[in-house]
Amino acid sequence: MFVEVRQVFRFLCSHPLTRDRRAAGFARVCKWQIESRLCPEVIVPWVGGLKLAVRRGMTGATGNIYAGLHEFADMAFTLHFLRSDDLFLDVGANVGSFTLLASGVCKARTIAFEPDPETMAFLQRNIDINDLHGYVVLEQAAVGAEEGEVAFTIGLDTMNHVADGTHARTRRVPMRTLDNIAALTPPIMIKVDVEGYEADVFRGAQAVLNKPALKVVITEGQQPAVVAPLVNAGFSQYEYDPFQRRLSPASRNRPSNNALFVRDSLFATARLATSSSFQVLGRTI
C-alpha cells in the first residue's frame, strides 16, 4: 500500500497538469478511492464531454482521473494532430483512452486492437456509453508479424502481453498483421503499446510503415529492433510540448515511457498549430 501511495505521489508531482496543483490532484485521488469502493464501476466525465467507465485496478484509466491525461504529451498530441475522417490504429487499446480521444473528440475513425476478452468488454463499454459505434471498429486480436494464434497472459491489466513461455496463466488469442488490416486504407497515425512486442508488430507492418499517408507512430518500445524499421521508413523521433504546440528533436537525456516518431514534420507542425484548444482540469492545451 505504501509503495502505491508513493507512486501516485510521484506521478502527481511530476505530471505537467498537476505538479503545481497537487492538492487538487490528491483530492481527486481520495474521491476516486472512496467512490470505487462503493461502486464496482464509476462513470467519470473526461475531455471534450467524453465519459470514462472506470473500475478499481485500471491503472491507465485511473491516471486519467488523477491527472486529466495519463500520458500527457502523447494524448495531447493525439488531440491536436488528428482530424475528422483520419484513420487511427490503436494497437493495444486496453480500455480505450486513446481510442476515445481520437474518435470521441477528434472524430477520427479508429481500429482498436485488444486481445484480452475481459479488457475488450471494458473497451466496448466505453464505446457504448460514448455512442462511438460509427467511428470505432474493435478487433479482439493481438497484432504481430504473421496471421495466426498466440498465447496471451491473463489478469495483468495494462501489463498483459504476448506470452514468452514462462507464464502459467495464458489463453490463446487470434493474431493479425497491420499490413493485412490496413491494406486498403492506410492510417495517418498508429499507437503501439504491447508490452515488449512492438518489434513483431512492425515486422508485420512493413507495407503500412512505408505508405506516405502514415505520418505518425507512437510506440512504447524503443529498442533498436523497434526503432530501425521506423527510421528506415523515413521517420524521426521527436518530443512534443502541448502548451507551445511545438515539436523538437528527441533528447537522449530525457527518458520517456513512449517514443513519438514523425514523418513530414512540416505537415505535422501545421496541423498542430491549427488544432482546436481543449480544456483539461481547467487548463487550456
Q: What pLDDT, on the 0 to 100 scale, is given for residue 133?
A: 95
pLDDT digits (tens, 9 = 90+) for 83-131: 999 999 999 999 999 999 999 999 999 999 999 999 999 999 999 999 9
Q: In the prediction, which pLDDT does 3 show?
A: 55
Predicted confidence (pLDDT) at residue 158 exceeds the cutoff of 90: no
Instruction: Kindly report the backbone phi and psi dihedral angles of residue 4, in degrees, each rounded to the nearest multiple of 5, phi listed first.
Output: -65, -45
CA–CA separation, 238 and 172 (whole Å): 36
Question: What nine digits make up the cell of 220?
Answer: 512504447
Q: pLDDT at position 253, please?
A: 62
Percent of the chain with pLDDT over 90: 79
The pLDDT of residue 256: 67
Supply the pLDDT for residue 157. Answer: 59
Share above pLDDT 70 across residues of the chain, in percent, rounded to a whole number: 93
CA dist., res. 74 & res. 47, Å (int):
14
225: part of which helix (H) or strand (E)?
Answer: helix 224-232
- Residue type for position 194: V
What is the pLDDT at residue 272? 98
Neighbours of 82 (CB within 10 A): 26
Give the mean pLDDT of 46-75: 95
The arithmetic mean of pLDDT across residues 218-229, rounded, is: 93
Closest CA to 198 of 154, 229, 174: 229
Alpha helix segments (H runs only) across 15-149 = 22-38, 59-67, 72-81, 97-99, 117-129
Distance between CA atoms of 79 and 88, rounded to whole angstroms? 12
Extents of the domains making up the chain: 72-284
Tell me, what amino acid is at 94?
N
Helices (H), 102-223: 117-129, 178-181, 198-203, 206-209
The domain defined by 72-284 folds into: Rossmann fold (3.40.50)
Mean pLDDT of 134-141: 96
**Neighbouring-strand partners of residue 91:** 113, 192
Q: Residue 158 carries which DSSP code?
A: G
End-to-end CA distance of the chain: 34
